[in-house]
Amino acid sequence: MPTPAKGRLPRSRRLLSEEEILDAALDLLDEGGPDAASVRGIAARVGVAPNAVYTYFPDKASVIKALGERLLGEVQQGSLHPCDQPWRGCVEALALDLRGRLTAHPGAVTLMIGGPLDGPHALALQERLLQLLADAGVPPDQAARGAHLLIVYVFGSIAVEVTERGQPGQPAKDTDRLPSPRRALSDAQAQQFPRSAAAATLIGSHASTEQYLWGLHRLLDGITVSPPPFENQPPT
Amino acid sequence: MPTPAKGRLPRSRRLLSEEEILDAALDLLDEGGPDAASVRGIAARVGVAPNAVYTYFPDKASVIKALGERLLGEVQQGSLHPCDQPWRGCVEALALDLRGRLTAHPGAVTLMIGGPLDGPHALALQERLLQLLADAGVPPDQAARGAHLLIVYVFGSIAVEVTERGQPGQPAKDTDRLPSPRRALSDAQAQQFPRSAAAATLIGSHASTEQYLWGLHRLLDGITVSPPPFENQPPT
DNA sequence: ACCTGAACACCGTTCAAGT
DNA sequence: ACCTGAACACCGTTCAAGT
């Protein structure tokens, strides 16, 4: 028996670790956008041959999946403290933390939303959300629907935000280099879609974080005050 | 002057049309998932050399963008009739139409959400939504925020739905071939995340369309009844 | 077990040439 | 204007071989 090294720490003469590969992938995505995280590029950055990556991950999709899970894990870790605020504040903090940590890596987010979010850290986030809604007195079936609704909203908002800002990979053609947070419409578009043009200027005057939180609370309103008739809310 | 052919119809001896290329791309995506729509594959399907595609579109991203716009255009066209129901019914019909037409093409949707939805048909949909909210008596700034919220929800739901179902490209590993609409958790997962497990069984008992509409109406509740204090709703 | 060089079967895109 | 063959610079992944 070749001594299975039960401590497992000095397992073998590997040059790399899974984490180093994920670091390299994230750096490449941050610098060059969603197409920059090629297996060959990752291998070059950590200084090995392209196929050495396959010692640590079975394929490229697994690398992306693990990277997404790691980003979600940071969120979970960042909100570990039991949160002494009222429940709405806790949901808000969680949503803000999630948004902040993901929008910092638009290239990674673009790849993440291509596949399902079903890893353990994603589940842990859902679990925490269900816990918060239960604490708020929302009955289980409504909390189940509500948590799903919140998840769709939060990830949808992040996805929209990430795709609206230019990725570092795309050269960002200079015709639409507008400084406004939500870019205005061209004259022709404004003429054809007057309400959209007006809405763009109305919303553009607010910070996107404010818009994000407004939507979140509208949604919490809808979840907590809505049918089936339900008024179990604890006092503020 | 080489006679610019003002009628423009028999413009030249082109073998293809933009529509044929989009048809081919959509067929490939439907059959093989998001990675199946290669420029070379499209060209082969319409019977030309790979680079002939670049006569019609400047690059692959433009093909994807045009395809997304076409799918959104069908939605817009499908809800052309002025909608004689009360406004909530109209929003619901629009949301259902959008979901139905997009989830029919999961591969295309996966590619669409990678880039921004800012084409004319996307704007037309937003315009219609703003019109409906204005008809409902929602003041302009709230309608602007609300429309954005609805768009995020609808596209987020579709994206989640599409990524949860397996794409035809991925071989759908036989370990998770569960028949339920929302797949249940493994035993280990259920033990670690009890609320998520319970929520999965609770939601799994409903059709996903019902869950989709539930969220939509919770959201409409939040938009129409919420601060700033507002009770301008027309009688049913 | 881990890494290597070499190869396979693909990509998107460009270029010069033909009509 | 439109299409072609040929090529360039890439991909992800596999395989046999080395340690």
Task: Encode burial over B95-118: b for 16+ CB neighbours within 10 A, e otherwise.
Answer: bbbbbebbbebbbbbbbbbbbbbb
Mean local confidence (pLDDT), B163-175: 69
Which residues numbered 117-146 in B keep a CB inside 8 Å of some CB on A?
A: 117, 120, 123-124, 126-127, 130-131, 134, 140-141, 143-146
User: Residue A170's pLDDT is what?
Assistant: 65
Asked if B61 CB < 7 A from strand C, the reply is yes
CB contact residues (below 8 A), chain A span 30-49, against chain B: 34
What is the share, in percent, of chain B residues with pLDDT greater than 70? 83
| pTM, 2 dp | 0.89
Asked, as a colleague might, if the bond just before B82 is cis with ω within 30 of 0, I would say no
Contacts A141 to B, Cβ<8 Å: 202
Q: Do B215 and A163 touch (CB under 8 A)?
A: no
Note the strand D nucleotides within 7 A of protein beta carbons: 1-7, 10-16
Distance CA A185, CA A176 (A): 10
Residues 61-100 of A with CB under 8 A from B: none
The percent of residues in chain B predicted with pLDDT above 90, rounded, is: 68
| Residue of chain B minimizing CA distance to A140 | B199
Best of A145, A157, A167, A206 to substitute, by most chain B Cβ atoms within 10 angstroms, is A145
Comparing A183-187, B136-140, B167-171, the range with the smallest average pLDDT is B167-171
**C-alpha torsion sign, points B150, B152, B158, B161:** negative
More confident residue, A22 or B170: A22
What digits encode the pLDDT tens for the residues B3-58?
333 333 445 678 789 999 999 999 999 999 999 999 999 999 999 999 999 999 99
Residue-level pLDDT at A25: 98
Distance between CA atoms of B82 and A18, rounded to whole angstroms?
Answer: 56
Beta carbons of A39 and A60 less than 8 angstroms apart = yes
Q: How many angstroms separate the Cα of B200 from the Cα of each of A233, B208, B212?
A: 24, 12, 15
pLDDT at position B182 is: 58
> pLDDT tens for residues B177-201?
444 445 678 888 899 999 999 999 9
Nearest nucleotide over every DNA/RNA strand to the A13 CA, judged by C1': C2
Distance (Å, whole) CA A103 – CA A109: 7
* Average pLDDT across chain B, whole number: 85
B33 touches strand C (CB under 7 A): no
- Say what the pLDDT of residue A12 is: 62
End-to-end CA distance of chain B: 64
Which of A195, A210, A230 to substitute to test the interface with B, most B CBs within 10 Å?
A195
* SS3 category, B181: coil
Helix axes A18-32, A60-78, angle to 10 degrees: 90
The pLDDT score that the predictor gives to residue A179 is: 42
**Residue A211 touches chain B, beta carbons under 8 Å:** yes
**Residue A192 identity:** Q
Query: Could you tell me the maximum CA-CA distance found in chain B, to the nearest angstrom?
Result: 78
Per-residue pLDDT of chain A (236 residues; tens, 9 = 90+): 333 333 334 456 787 899 999 999 999 999 999 999 999 999 999 999 999 999 999 999 999 999 999 999 998 777 767 788 899 999 999 999 999 999 999 999 999 999 999 999 999 999 999 999 999 999 999 999 999 999 999 999 999 999 988 778 766 554 444 444 456 788 888 999 999 999 999 887 777 999 999 999 999 999 987 554 434 444 43
> What's residue B12's pLDDT?
62
